[in-house]
């Protein structure tokens, strides 16, 4: 009887430890998804996803429609604010100024915009680069994204659409001592 209590206590401790460690895990989370919910091609990049999730923030006149002109105005304002030496180029240090204002540019980084590979981004490279949100959602070519399109795009990018099996947190299916303890088989017993 005391061995059964010992096993139950050990199993409970193992399960508690697994749950506690799971919350502090440094393991990377599964991707939010990689299948393109917009139908063109099989995948959507993290850069595309960042643009889609941020699209609503570019509505400068608050009319629930984002236009290409509003995007370009937003991009110009960001560029001007980040270009500390006013030379019409952003280097790595100035790029940090940009990411402090809009975290999207951590994902859509300097290399993404640096078309000629010179290690800096010109005003033209930054402002004139096609915006993936418009490329993916503006099928009619009007250069306008309405609130419904933006909300739909955001919701489609927030779910795991990759088709990969989610990680199972059931301790009975874990390997090592946690799995052994959860299944009633402690090492050395």
The pLDDT confidence band at residue 25, using thresholds 50, 70 and 90, is very low
Please list the alpha-helical segments (H only) found in 42-175. Answer: 46-54, 68-82, 92-101, 104-107, 110-113, 123-127, 132-137, 147-157
| Domain spans of the chain, in order of start | 2-25+169-182, 46-157
The CA-atom distances, in angstroms, between 127 and each of 67, 69, 93, 105, 117 are 14, 11, 19, 13, 16
pLDDT of residue 12 exceeding 60: no
Residue 62 — φ and ψ, nearest 5°? 55, 40
Q: Mind listing the pLDDT tens digit for each residue in 45-94?
A: 888 888 888 888 888 999 999 999 999 999 999 999 999 999 999 999 99
User: What is the structure's pLDDT at 179?
Assistant: 56
pTM for the whole structure: 0.59
Per-residue pLDDT reduced to its tens digit, 131-184: 888 888 888 899 999 988 888 877 766 544 454 544 545 555 556 665 565 556
Beta bridge partners of 145: 66
CATH architecture of the domain with residue range 46-157:
Orthogonal Bundle (1.10)
Would you state the structure tokens that stand for residue 33, as one six-digit string?
């998804």
Q: How far apart are CA 3 and CA 131, in angstroms?
A: 65
Q: Which pLDDT belongs to residue 189?
A: 53
pLDDT bin (cut points 50, 70, 90) of residue 129 is very high
The C-alpha atoms of residue 128 and residue 114 are separated, in whole angstroms, by: 12
pLDDT of residue 43: 63
The pLDDT of residue 79: 96
- Spacing of C-alpha 22 from chain mean position: 21
CA distance 24 to 45: 28
| Distances in whole angstroms, Cα of residue 95 to Cα of each of 71, 166, 178 | 18, 36, 45
The pLDDT value given to residue 133: 87
Phi-psi domain of 85 (left: phi exceeds 0; alpha: psi -120 through 50; beta: other): alpha
85-126: per-residue pLDDT in tens? 999 999 999 999 999 999 989 989 999 999 999 999 999 999
Q: C-alpha angle with apex 96: 115 to 118, nearest 5 degrees?
A: 25
Residue 160: predicted pLDDT: 46
């Amino acid at each position: 009887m005391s061995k059964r209590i010992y096993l139950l206590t050990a199993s409970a401790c193992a399960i508690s430890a697994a749950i506690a460690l799971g919350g502090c895990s440094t393991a990377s989370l599964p991707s939010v998804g990689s299948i393109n919910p917009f139908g063109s091609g099989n995948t959507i990049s993290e850069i595309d996803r960042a643009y889609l999730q941020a699209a609503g923030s570019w509505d400068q006149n608050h009319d629930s429609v984002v236009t290409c002109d509003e995007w370009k105005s937003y991009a110009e304002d960001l560029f001007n604010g980040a270009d500390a030496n006013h030379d019409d180029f952003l280097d790595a240090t100035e790029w940090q100024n940009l990411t402090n204002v809009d975290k999207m540019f951590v994902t859509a980084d300097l290399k993404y915009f640096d078309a000629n590979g010179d290690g800096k981004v010109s005003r033209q490279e930054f402002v004139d680069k096609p915006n993936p949100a418009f490329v993916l959602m503006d099928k009619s070519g009007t250069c306008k994204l309405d609130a419904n399109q933006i909300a739909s795009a955001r919701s489609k990018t927030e779910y795991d659409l990759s088709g990969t099996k989610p990680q199972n947190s059931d301790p009975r299916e874990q390997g090592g001592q946690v799995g052994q303890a959860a299944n009633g088989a402690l090492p050395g017993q």
